[in-house]
Amino acid sequence: MRIIFAGTPEISAAVLRTLLDAKLDVVACLTQPDRPQGRGLKLTASPVKKVAAEFNIPILQPSSLKIEIAQQELLKLKPDLMIVLAYGLILPQAVLDIPRHGCINIHGSILPRWRGAAPIQHAILAGDTETGITTMQMDAGLDTGDILKIYPCAILPTDTTGELFLRLTTLSQTAILDTLSELTAGKIIATPQNNALATYAHKIEKQDATIDWQLPALEIDRRIRAYNPWPVAFTSFMDHTIRIWQAELCNQTTHKSPGTIVAMDSQGIEVATGCGIIRILQLQFPGKKILTAAEACHAHHELSINNKFV
């Protein structure tokens, strides 16, 4: 089976490597154009491009798949199947129709819950206890195609997006090989999604990570975990923008106004919220390394009881 793989970030690269290690016939890779990164804004290849180059797989990097020349390049490859994971560009119907067996998408949620760009973050933000990987037959809608297989994954109460991402990456590698095997054997019956149960996971922006101390501690904890490792939850403190990398809930209450530091010790910095207290464990001042709360209190004496985060 002649396969085109479409993807861009690390999770896509891991799945591509799995396909290649399984000796599947990947005839080309679609990935986003090189982007400027770092302080020098040097053009940098995507993780998928790097793996494709390592295995001498032809690489296609169109800025859009809506233009005819890009579609003609795909037609020339005569693919049987396209596998898509976090590619980042819309596949128009003309492209979906090119592979003989259509296009399979690997999606980081249990569809139809959390269609869209950021399903992992939104599952944590919502307090979900379970997510997973769904393989689906793509159509022209946004993650609306028929479901092929579902692979559940528990969300732990302490999970960050980074930690959950690693488990879902491993699950994606299992899911695609399993799905392809059953599909080839004719064992899968595609199931339409229940659109009435759909929720949408919009793209995360940096400003989303602003901490609102008026919120309950439970919601602030979810935000800190959901936005780790990107864009990282942040707050203001004495004209500094402080990034909060890790925190935990305290089984305590307070009458102090939200954002007020109510206690400090070697375990953390306890802060009042709109309902309850949250304990900051790791934080980062501008231009500095990530510190434990104890290290931060030793280095920054302005972190003191009754001062406030805003």
User: Predicted confidence band at 48 (pLDDT cuts at 50, 70, 90)?
Assistant: very high
CATH of 106-204, one of 3.40.30.10, 3.30.365.10, 3.40.50.170, 3.40.190.10: 3.40.50.170
Q: What is the pLDDT of residue 3?
A: 98
Cis peptide preceding 47, ω within 30 of 0:
no
Domain residue extents for the chain: 1-101, 106-204, 206-299
Alpha carbons within 13 angstroms on the beta-carbon side of residue 267 total 8
In CATH, the number for domain 206-299 is 3.10.25.10
Closest CA to 303 of 255, 237, 247: 237
- Compute φ and ψ for 248, nearest 5 degrees: -150, 160
Residue 66 pLDDT > 90, yes or no? yes
Residue 37 pLDDT > 90, yes or no? no
Residue 68 pLDDT > 90, yes or no? yes
Structure confidence by residue, pLDDT tens digits, 150-179: 999 999 999 999 999 999 999 999 999 999
Average pLDDT over residues 132-138: 98
Q: How far apart are CA 216 and CA 233, in angstroms?
A: 15
Structure confidence by residue, pLDDT tens digits, 197-244: 999 999 999 999 999 999 999 999 999 999 999 999 999 999 999 999
**Cβ neighbours for 287, distance < 8 A, ≥ 6 positions apart:** none
Q: And the tokens for 230?
A: 């990107």
Cis peptide preceding 112, ω within 30 of 0:
yes
Average pLDDT over residues 249-262: 94
The class that CATH gives domain 1-101 is alpha beta
pTM: 0.95
Q: What is the pLDDT of residue 40?
A: 84
Q: Are 230 and 269 in contact (CB under 8 A)?
A: no
| Farthest CA pair distance, the chain | 68
Residue 41 pLDDT > 90, yes or no? no
Task: Evaluate whether 1-101 and 106-204 have a shared fold.
Answer: yes
H helices, E strands: number in the chain: 8, 17
DSSP 209: G
Q: What is the pLDDT of residue 86?
A: 96
